[in-house]
């Protein structure tokens, strides 16, 4: 109390009861678990009248799967439980034994079928065992009955009696991994669910935590943290037949380069939002994977491509010997485009007709871009202007923050600095 008065003055004694928000609790917990500040000091800094209040938040955070839970107002949980139990008992008395058994089977089916998991994976045995224990107490039936119902249904994951008791008695081996789990969740949220276990492993190592990628994968499964799943995306096709000289494919699917400004790649992709369209044309470096320059236009015209080239040249004026690779889009066959490349000492390369894999580096970049900031997030953009601002922010994030396994766990700009050092 003396420390509180010294920190906040005597007014702290007259402070009325305060309801703390979810964000307030999250920040307090992060300071203790992630930044490793003493809980006593955090409680004083935040003006908490009791150090036990923060301890309760930390305990609740761990017990609820590393989530902050705000207690709901209204009737107490005991009153709600009594009401539900009374309703359930009255309903049971009204059912015949056969109807009661059918009702119990239906509730078991629903409970097990709703276990959260990725679409292509079975729930873990420990998760099923916890659900079986909950059903025992809710339905007042034996473990044998529940397991028999589960194992008789081919659409449900099966669990043997011995495996149930093994998981029931097995100690939680992750009790000592609370710090790592908190860091994993912080990284996952910081990058807006874009990181899977591989990049989270690399980010943990950047932060000084040497953790095996298999452990990270297991902890993420336990925390129900899953990266964004790939989706098929629509590719804009700018091919209009042969309209100019077609250049040889100098890349032959060997997209990487030893040093920057040796191989550049470009293409145009289309975004559709509320019946309207906008087009992105970027240049990606084959060595650093960074977006060198880009332009956004409401129509896929030659000016967009020329603006992109001039922007790239202003940043990197020494381009003699550079190979510039594209598909056979009409823009890249245009005499003005080809003349600009020749005047700047750039050698042009083109994919073969109908071979999208020849331009695979750009295909991959567009897939990442749309998966991580557009598909599934369309509702966040009210207009094309907001979408274009979102694209610009993502490209900045992609260059400066988004680490890549192929770049030794560095972002594109960090890798450029490493290569040029």
Q: Which tens digit of pLDDT belongs to each residue from 124-165?
A: 888 888 889 989 888 889 999 999 999 998 888 889 999 888
pLDDT digits (tens, 9 = 90+) for 85-114: 555 555 555 667 888 888 888 889 888 888
H-only helix segments in 295-411: 302-315, 330-333, 335-343, 360-373, 384-400
pLDDT at 255: 92
Neighbour-count burial of 271, counting CB atoms closer than 10 A to its CB (0-12 exposed, 13-18 middle, 19+ buried): buried
Count Cβ atoms below 10 Å from residue 72 Cβ, excluding itself: 8
The secondary structure of 342-374, three-state, reads HHCCCEEEECCCCCHHHHHHHHHHHHHHHHHHC
| Fold that domain 263-420 belongs to in CATH | Nucleotidyltransferase; domain 5 (3.30.420)
SS3 74: coil
pLDDT digits (tens, 9 = 90+) for 232-276: 555 666 666 676 678 888 999 899 999 999 999 999 999 999 999
pLDDT at 338: 94
Residue 341: pLDDT band with limits 50, 70, 90: very high
DSSP category for residue 192: T
- Domain locations in the chain as residue ranges: 2-63, 85-169, 175-222, 263-420
End-to-end CA separation in angstroms for the chain: 54
pLDDT surpasses 90 at 302: yes
Task: Report which secondary-structure segment, H or E, holds 167.
Answer: helix 161-169
pLDDT at 101: 85
SS3 270: strand
pLDDT, mean over the chain: 84
- Which percentage of the chain shows pLDDT scores above 90? 38
pLDDT digits (tens, 9 = 90+) for 59-84: 777 667 566 666 655 555 555 556 55
Is residue 150 within 8 Å of 158, Cβ to Cβ? Answer: yes
Give the separation between CA 421 and CA 417, rounded to whole angstroms: 6
Angle between helices 161-169 and 143-152 (to 10 degrees): 120
Mean pLDDT along residues 307-311: 95
More confident residue, 382 or 35: 382
Residue 170: pLDDT band with limits 50, 70, 90: confident
Q: Concatenate the DSSP letters of all residues of 196-215 into one string.
A: -HHHHHHHHHHTT----HHH
SS3 263: strand
pLDDT at 339: 94
Residue 216 CA, distance from chain mean position: 14
């Amino acid at each position: 109390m003396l420390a509180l008065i010294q920190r906040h003055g005597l007014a702290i004694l007259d402070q009325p009861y305060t309801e703390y928000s979810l964000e307030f609790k999250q920040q307090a917990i992060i300071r203790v678990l992630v930044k490793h500040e003493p809980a006593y000091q955090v409680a004083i800094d935040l003006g908490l009248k009791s150090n036990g209040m923060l301890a309760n938040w930390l305990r609740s955070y761990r017990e609820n799967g590393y989530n902050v839970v705000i207690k709901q107002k209204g009737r107490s949980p005991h009153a709600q439980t009594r009401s539900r139990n009374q309703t359930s008992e009255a309903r049971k008395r009204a059912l015949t034994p056969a109807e009661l058994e059918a009702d119990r089977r239906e509730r078991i089916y629903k409970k097990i079928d709703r276990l959260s998991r990725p679409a292509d994976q079975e729930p873990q045995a420990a998760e099923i065992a916890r659900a079986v224990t909950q059903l025992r107490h809710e339905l007042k039936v034996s473990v044998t009955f529940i397991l028999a119902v589960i194992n008789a249904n081919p659409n449900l994951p099966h669990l043997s009696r011995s495996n149930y008791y093994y998981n029931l008695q097995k100690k939680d081996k992750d009790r000592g991994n609370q710090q790592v789990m908190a860091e994993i969740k912080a990284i996952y949220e910081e990058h807006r669910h874009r990181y899977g276990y591989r990049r989270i492993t690399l980010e943990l190592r950047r932060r000084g935590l040497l953790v095996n990628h298999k452990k990270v994968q297991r902890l993420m499964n336990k925390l129900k943290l899953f990266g964004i799943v790939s989706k098929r995306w629509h590719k804009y096709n700018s091919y209009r037949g042969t309209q100019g000289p077609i250049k040889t494919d100098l890349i032959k699917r060997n997209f990487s380069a030893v040093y920057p400004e040796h191989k550049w790649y470009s293409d145009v992709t289309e975004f559709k939002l509320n019946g309207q369209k906008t087009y992105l044309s970027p240049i990606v470096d084959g060595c650093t994977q960074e977006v060198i320059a880009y332009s956004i236009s409401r129509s896929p015209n030659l000016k967009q491509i020329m603006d992109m080239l001039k922007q790239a040249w202003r940043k990197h004026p020494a381009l003699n010997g550079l190979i510039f690779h594209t598909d056979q889009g009409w823009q890249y066959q245009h005499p003005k485009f080809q003349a600009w490349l020749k005047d700047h000492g750039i050698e042009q390369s083109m994919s073969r007709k109908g071979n999208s894999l020849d331009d695979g580096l750009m295909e991959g970049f567009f897939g990442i871009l749309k998966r991580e900031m557009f598909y599934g997030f369309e509702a966040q953009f009210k207009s094309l202007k907001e979408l274009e601002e979102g694209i610009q922010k993502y490209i900045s994030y992609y260059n400066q923050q988004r680490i890549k396994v192929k770049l030794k766990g560095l972002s594109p700009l960090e890798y450029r600095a490493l290569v040029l050092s």
